[in-house]
Structure formats: C-alpha cells, structure tokens
C-alpha cells in the first residue's frame, strides 16, 4: 500500500490498538508452547493485561522461529485482529540462525567488511525464510574488559573498526543501501545504545561512568559510524549513564541518538528494561516507569507490558504524549508496509527447507571460520608436517560438537563438524585418535603417535550475556594437560576455543604453537583442520588484546599517554608483579608466510586542508601460501593540548597476496584522520608532528607535519 493508506490506517486505530503496536510478547500466548521453536525467557509479562481485546492488538512477537510456527501464530493473530495489521517477528540471530558462523568477536578478526556483510546476508536469508523480520544485531558496543561475558558479541576494542564492521552487517541484513530494506532482507537492530560494554568491573548490566569526551571520542563513535548505514532499529541498553538508566534518558535517546546522530527510526528497549526502571529506583512503580520510557523515546517496550497497563492514566495526565505515540506507531506501520507484510504476511514453508543449511552457506561458513582464526604463537610446530601421520587429539575440545558459541540461535550441535571429524575429512590418510583427558589415552597409542594436538579452551556456556567472570585464565586441569603433553617430548601444538580473550601468562611458555579459534560455528572442525594441516594459512589479527593475568583488565592498545610511562622503574605506570603491556596486543596475528613490508613512500611530509598525504608500500610474500594480509595504519600525535592515546588505528586494508609475489598497498591520510575532541568537546587539530606506523612496527615509517 502507499504511504497515504498507511496514514489512513493510523487514523482508524483506537488508542489501545496503537499502544499494542508499541508492545511485544512471546508467541505461546497465541498458540501455546508447541515445541522448541518457541522461546520464552526473561521476566514474565502481566497475564492479567493480556486479555483477548489486548492480545490481538500487539505489534510484535519475540522468540518464535520456523516458517511453520510463525505462519501459525500470524494466522491465529490475524483471525481476531480488527484491522488485520500483521505481526513483526523478531529474534536474536547474533552470528547465524541455523547455519552458525563464528562469534562476532571472531568475525571481527577478519577485519573484512565484505565478509561480515555477506555473513549478514546469509543470516537474513535464513531468518526471512523462517518468517522472521527483525534481527537484534549487530552489537557495536566498544569493549576493553574481557571479564564481561558479552565481549563475544562485540567487534573488539577499537571504535572505528567496530563501527565499520557493524555498518557492514547492517547493509547485509537489510540487503539494500540508504536505509531502505529489501523484501528479502530483515530489519537490523543496532545495539546496545549506549556504552553498554563499559560496565564497571566488567559486570553485566552494571553502571557506566565516564567523561563525555571519552564517550563522544570512543564509546559513542562506534554507534555513530554504524548508524550511517541506517538500521531500522536501535536497542536501548540496560545500563545507567551519567546517573540515569539509558531507557529513561531523554539526553541519550533524544538529544544524542535522535538529534546529534540523526537516527529517525524505531527505538526498542532491551528485554524488560522498561520494567527494570523500578529496580534502578528511578521509578516508584510501573506507571512511572512507563512514563519515563515513553518520554525518553522508547518506541517499543520489549516483553514487559507497562505501556498497556498504564497508557490511559498517562495520557489523561499528559495528553501531549499522544504525539509521540502516533509518531512511533506510524514508523512501525511503515516498516511493515516496506517489508510487504500487508500483502503477504506468511512465508513459504517449502522454500525454508531449501534455504536453511544450504551448501553455499555452509561452504562460506567454513571459509569465514578459517579467516577468523588467529595464530598467536608459532615455534614452527604449525602447520603439521606431512611426515606426521599418527595424530592424537587430547583435551575437552578434541571431539566435541559444542563449538557454536553462545547466542547461537537455532543452531544444532548435531550439524557441527568436530575437530576430529574435520581432520579425517581433510586428510583420510591420517590416523586420528581423540581423547578428552590425557589419562584416557592408552600408553601404547601415545608411544606410537608422532604428533599431538592439544584442544583446550573455555566452555561456550561461560561467555555471553550474564556470564561475566573474575577469573579468565585457562583452568588448572587444562594447564596440567598441556604440561603433561610437553613432557612427552613429541611435536605438539595447541588449538584453543573461547568466547573471550583469556589470560595465558602462566602457561604460554609451555605452548610452542597456538591457534586461537574462538567459537567457529557449524563448520568448525573442517576449517581448523585445513589450517593446522597446512591446506591454508591463518590470517586473522586480534581486535581485542589478551591480558597476561585476569587482574590486568581492562586493557587496550590505545591507552592515554601518562606522565610516567611504563618502564623498569617502580615509579612508573606499571604493575610490580607483571610484565608491561598485554600478552598479545590488538592487531597481533601470525601467518605461515614469510611476510615483509618494503619500499615505503610518501607523497609529502606536510599535510594541509587542501593537500592529502598518500603513503604506499609493498607486501612481499616469500612463501608457498596465498593469503589475505591485513595492513593497519596507526598515528601518534607527538604534542597536543589534551592528552592523546599512545597510538591510534586510523586506516586498515585487506590485500590478497599470492605465493611468492608482492602487492602494493596505499593509504590516504586527510586532516579528518588527525582531528580529536578537546576538553570542550570541540573537534580540533593543532600544528605539530605526527608519527605514522604500519602494523606493529616499533619505529615510525614517516613523520608528517601539519
């Protein structure tokens, strides 16, 4: 229908029908709890308010999946809906729906916007085939504390990279540009606005306390960058900011999100966040919580029903709220119309079977998993030599299918390729044995084997929402396993699975080679097997620093300069019982290649408003492996009025480097790359010198002057 008809529909709606569009519940209210395609989690809604005259005004359902179930709920709803306004179905397909890709933190280690856009496109295709219209992704919360369980959903510790990768996923989900949405796409929901990843102590749902300069320069910047791709939704965060819960903050949701960042579409609360304003003690009861959220600009209340319970009283006391309600309802109706739901609210159940777990998506999931892995250390034990044929895999991850990671939506362990299975698929000439524990492995097999893979890590259940940890070190039993294997005096290497960076100082010296696999998804085993057998080379680089010990977090590469920079002196910014810096820093990642950077050139050493600077160099691959090199440009402002980070990533580029060849790389630097926020929150740049670095080179390649 055209927009005129949508506006006419809005005029036909009763006030209760309007409030219903701003409310969301789970699907069992319509058809009962049929099977595990229907999810009910979190706080209960008020059953008393969900009588039939209210139940059939609702605007959206969360947690229902599969074409059969969404069609059934939609059909039952429309039979009794007065105006026949179809439901929106929403879900959390964070890194896949049925075909599960690597967790977002792993995806970010590809640094590849094209890969993340294609991942989102494939997820959207599966979701849409199942009748789901909105995906609560991407999460671009900037994170620096790996104790926080939700780091697995993030893109790491750099604001620019997080924003760009989030923007790529928005384009992929919506399958169009400039904020339009394809009828084959799903609406993207950017989350969690704002600064949710900065909870004090790394605790989930905790208070956030930072300066406005820190917010606008870093934590807010990732949202600002991603919002340029115009997601249809933004989700408000659970946390407080500047003393106010974000879901009740007009400053955050109106002044910053709406006015400053120019977001004009739908704001949805996180699960139960409106009701939780009472727990924050900024609202004395449900009515006050609903009023605060409505005034702040929460368009859809997720799961709790306070809008429905109190709208009559609220509007009687403040009739001007009706303008906000009408504006919110119109946006929801327009989205449903844009997605073609008024003409066809149902999906083809036969088509779903063709889309789910299709061959092309599975092959792409494998390639993505390979590019997500990061080779942290290699003392020539990887790849496994061709002479090694009798291989034992030992450890809790040797033959498990639980390699999807948290927030794996409708992914099934039954579809996962295990590490042991992957090794056999890649090379059927290998003799592979797999054991969970060292003591389970017969002595004669240990004596007979010529290579050992130690498969360790952190259980997928220990990361994700609500899974913050004080201790992020590898568990003692796994450390003992590595040490026992070391005593065998046989060639060995470690592969590690986790949803967060772990603190490895107390075991790293016992590991000759270490491939960090994160949680790679459905095709995990075959992807890892292709890497460790040398069919391909790892190429990922870290987007989040690895601490040496748990107590070293939060830690990040772009720390502010200190008056007493860390050094050997006791009276410097360091810990007396820990080496300086992270164990593995942001941007770290090895390959099997002998890569060299050479022939650095610069167009000029002076930059002006009218003259950009171009730097170029060669990436030389002196090996038999073709691979993707991630080139990263950092700057260092040598003198500034406000304290700046020691180093800041400004540009990155991925280049494919064939075996035994060289490829050119070129970066352009403009004044925009040198600006920063001063103490008055003004974009500024001062005359002076800036050092330029490529990747983690200790010495600058050039010094430029403004």
Backbone angles phi, psi at 290, to 5 degrees: -60, -40
By the 8 A CB rule, do 129 and 80 touch?
A: no
545 burial via Cβ count (<10 Å: 0-12, 13-18, 19+): buried
Where along the chain do the CATH 2.60.40.10 domains lie? 595-705
Percent of the chain with pLDDT over 70: 98
Cα–Cα distance measured from residue 628 to residue 615, given in angstroms and rounded to the nearest whole number: 20
| Residue 186, pLDDT score | 98
Statement: residue 322 has pLDDT above 60: yes
Sign of CA dihedral 79, 84, 89, 90: negative
Q: HSE on the CB side for 349, CA within 13 Å?
A: 8
| Residue 441, pLDDT score | 95
By the 8 A CB rule, do 667 and 693 touch?
A: no
Statement: residue 47 has pLDDT above 70: no
Cα–Cα distance measured from residue 203 to residue 652, given in angstroms and rounded to the nearest whole number: 31
- Mean pLDDT of the 558-565 span: 92
Instruction: Give residue-wise pLDDT tens across range 395-406.
Output: 999 999 999 999
Instruction: Give residue-wise pLDDT tens across range 213-255.
Output: 999 999 999 999 999 999 999 999 999 999 999 999 999 999 9
The owner of tokens 């030599």 is 385
Percent of the chain with pLDDT over 90: 91
Sign of CA dihedral 571, 575, 581, 586: negative
By the 8 A CB rule, do 612 and 524 touch?
A: no
Where along the chain do the CATH 3.40.50.1700 domains lie? 360-537
- Mean pLDDT of the 72-84 span: 96
Backbone angles phi, psi at 380, to 5 degrees: 65, 25
Q: Which of 52-61, 106-115, 574-583 is the most confident on average?
A: 106-115
Cα–Cα distance measured from residue 617 to residue 609, given in angstroms and rounded to the nearest whole number: 24
Statement: residue 46 has pLDDT above 80: no
By the 8 A CB rule, do 450 and 490 touch?
A: yes
Instruction: Give residue-wise pLDDT tens across range 132-191.
Output: 999 999 999 999 999 999 999 999 999 999 999 999 999 999 998 777 888 899 999 999
Cα–Cα distance measured from residue 519 to residue 527, given in angstroms and rounded to the nearest whole number: 11
Cα–Cα distance measured from residue 352 to residue 149, given in angstroms and rounded to the nearest whole number: 33
Statement: residue 381 has pLDDT above 80: yes
Least confident span in 37-41, 134-138, 325-329: 37-41
Q: Which residues contact 437 (CB under 8 A, 6 or more apart)?
A: 394, 481
Least confident span in 29-33, 198-202, 435-439: 29-33
| Residue 28, pLDDT score | 87
pTM exceeding 0.85: yes
Instruction: Give residue-wise pLDDT tens across range 484-527.
Output: 999 999 999 999 999 999 999 999 999 999 999 999 999 999 99
Quote the mean pLDDT of the chain: 95
| Residue 21, pLDDT score | 97
Q: Helices 306-317 and 286-296 meet at what angle, rounded to 10?
A: 80
Long-range contacts at 363-368 (CB < 8 A, ≥ 24 apart): 364/118, 364/119, 364/122, 365/96, 365/99, 365/100, 365/101, 365/122, 365/521, 365/522, 365/523, 366/523, 366/526, 366/527, 366/530, 367/527, 368/101, 368/102, 368/107, 368/110, 368/115, 368/119, 368/521
Statement: residue 664 has pLDDT above 90: yes
Q: HSE on the CB side for 664, CA within 13 Å?
A: 6
Confidence of residue 117 (pLDDT cuts 50, 70, 90): very high
| Residue 179, pLDDT score | 76
Distances (CA, A) of 250 to 194, 242, 247: 12, 12, 8
Statement: residue 51 has pLDDT above 70: yes
| Residue 48, pLDDT score | 67
Q: Which residues contact 447 (CB under 8 A, 6 or more apart)?
A: none
Higher-pLDDT residue of 551 and 697 is: 551
Burial profile 497-526: b = 16 or more Cβ within 10 angstroms, e = fewer = bbbbbbbbbebbebbbbbbbbbbbbbbbbb
Statement: residue 33 has pLDDT above 80: no
| Residue 41, pLDDT score | 53
Q: Which residues contact 203 (CB under 8 A, 6 or more apart)?
A: 147, 148, 468
Length of the chain: 706
Q: Does domain 595-705 have CATH number 3.50.50.60?
A: no
Statement: residue 306 has pLDDT above 80: yes
Smallest CA-to-CA distance from 69 within 339, 307, 349, 332 is with: 349
Superfamily assignment of 360-537 in CATH? Glycoside hydrolase family 3 C-terminal domain (3.40.50.1700)
Backbone angles phi, psi at 628, to 5 degrees: -105, 115
Q: Which two tokens stand for residue 316?
A: 């009687």
Q: What single DSSP character describes residue 270?
A: -
Cα–Cα distance measured from residue 297 to residue 305, given in angstroms and rounded to the nearest whole number: 16
Least confident span in 33-47, 158-172, 594-608: 33-47
């Amino acid at each position: 229908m055209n927009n005129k008809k949508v506006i006419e529909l809005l005029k036909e709606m009763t006030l209760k029908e309007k409030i219903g569009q701003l409310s969301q519940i789970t699907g069992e209210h319509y058809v009962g709890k049929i099977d595990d395609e229907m999810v009910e989690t979190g706080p209960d809604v008020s059953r008393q308010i969900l009588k039939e005259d209210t139940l059939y005004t609702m605007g959206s359902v969360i947690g229902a999946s599969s074409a059969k179930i969404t069609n059934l709920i939609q059909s039952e709803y429309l039979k009794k809906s007065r105006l026949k306004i179809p439901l929106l179905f929403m879900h959390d397909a964070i890194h896949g729906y049925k075909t599960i890709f690597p967790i977002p933190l792993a995806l970010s280690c590809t640094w590849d916007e094209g890969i993340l856009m294609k991942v989102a496109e494939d997820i959207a295709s599966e979701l849409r085939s199942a009748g789901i219209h909105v995906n609560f992704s991407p999460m671009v919360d900037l994170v620096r504390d790996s104790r926080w369980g939700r780091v697995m959903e993030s893109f790491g510790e750099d604001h620019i990279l997080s924003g760009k990768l989030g923007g790529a996923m928005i384009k992929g989900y919506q399958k169009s540009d400039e904020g339009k949405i394809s009828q084959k796409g799903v609406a993207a929901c950017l989350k969690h606005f704002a600064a949710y990843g900065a909870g004090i102590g790394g605790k989930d749902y905790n208070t956030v306390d930072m300066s406005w300069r820190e917010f606008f320069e870093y934590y807010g910047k990732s949202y600002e960058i991603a919002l340029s791709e115009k997601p249809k939704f933004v989700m408000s965060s659970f946390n407080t900011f500047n003393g106010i819960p974000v879901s009740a903050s007009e400053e955050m949701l109106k002044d910053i999100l709406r006015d400053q960042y120019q977001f004009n579409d739908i704001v949805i609360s996180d699960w139960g966040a409106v009701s939780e304003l009472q727990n924050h003690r900024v609202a004395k009861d449900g009515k006050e919580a609903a009023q605060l959220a409505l005034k702040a600009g929460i368009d859809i209340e997720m799961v709790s029903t306070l809008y429905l319970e109190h709208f009559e009283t609220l509007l009687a006391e403040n009739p001007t709220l009706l303008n906000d309600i009408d504006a919110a309802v119109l946006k929801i109706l327009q989205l449903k119309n844009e997605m073609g739901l008024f003409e066809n609210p149902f999906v083809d159940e036969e088509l779903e079977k063709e889309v789910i777990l299709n061959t092309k998506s599975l092959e792409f999931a494998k390639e993505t998993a390979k590019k997500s892995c990061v080779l942290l250390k290699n003392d020539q034990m990887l790849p496994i030599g061709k002479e090694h044929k009798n291989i034992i895999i030992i450890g809790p991850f040797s033959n498990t299918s639980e390699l999807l990671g948290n927030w794996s939506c409708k992914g099934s362990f039954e579809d996962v390729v295990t590490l042991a299975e992957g090794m056999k698929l890649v090379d059927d000439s290998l003799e592979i044995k797999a054991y969970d524990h060292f003591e389970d492995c017969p002595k004669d097999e240990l004596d007979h084997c010529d290579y050992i893979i130690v498969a360790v890590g952190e259980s997928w259940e220990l990361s994700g929402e609500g899974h913050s940890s004080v201790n992020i070190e590898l568990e003692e039993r796994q450390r003992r396993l590595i040490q026992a294997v070391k005593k065998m005096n046989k060639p060995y290497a470690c592969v590690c699975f986790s949803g967060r960076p772990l603190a490895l100082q107390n075991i790293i010296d016992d590991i000759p080679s270490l491939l960090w696999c994160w949680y790679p998804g459905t095709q995990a085993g075959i992807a890892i097997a292709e890497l460790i057998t040398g069919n391909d080379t790892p190429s990922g680089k870290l987007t989040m620093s690895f601490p040496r010990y748990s107590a070293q977090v939060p830690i990040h590469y772009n720390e502010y300069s200190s008056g007493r920079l860390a050094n050997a002196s006791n009276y410097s910014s360091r810990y007396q019982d820990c080496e300086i810096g992270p164990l593995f820093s942001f941007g770290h990642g090895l390959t099997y290649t002998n890569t060299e950077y050479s022939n650095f050139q610069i167009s000029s050493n002076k930059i002006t408003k009218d003259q950009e600077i171009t730097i170029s160099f060669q990436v030389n691959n002196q090996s038999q492996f073709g691979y993707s090199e991630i080139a990263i440009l950092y700057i260092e402002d040598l003198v500034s009025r406000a304290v700046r980070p020691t180093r800041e990533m400004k540009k990155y580029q991925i280049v494919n480097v064939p075996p035994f060849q060289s490829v050119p790389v070129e970066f352009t630097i403009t004044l925009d790359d040198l600006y920063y926020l001063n103490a008055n929150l003004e974009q500024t740049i001062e005359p002076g010198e800036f050092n330029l670095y490529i990747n983690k080179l200790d010495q600058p390649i050039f010094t430029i002057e403004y």
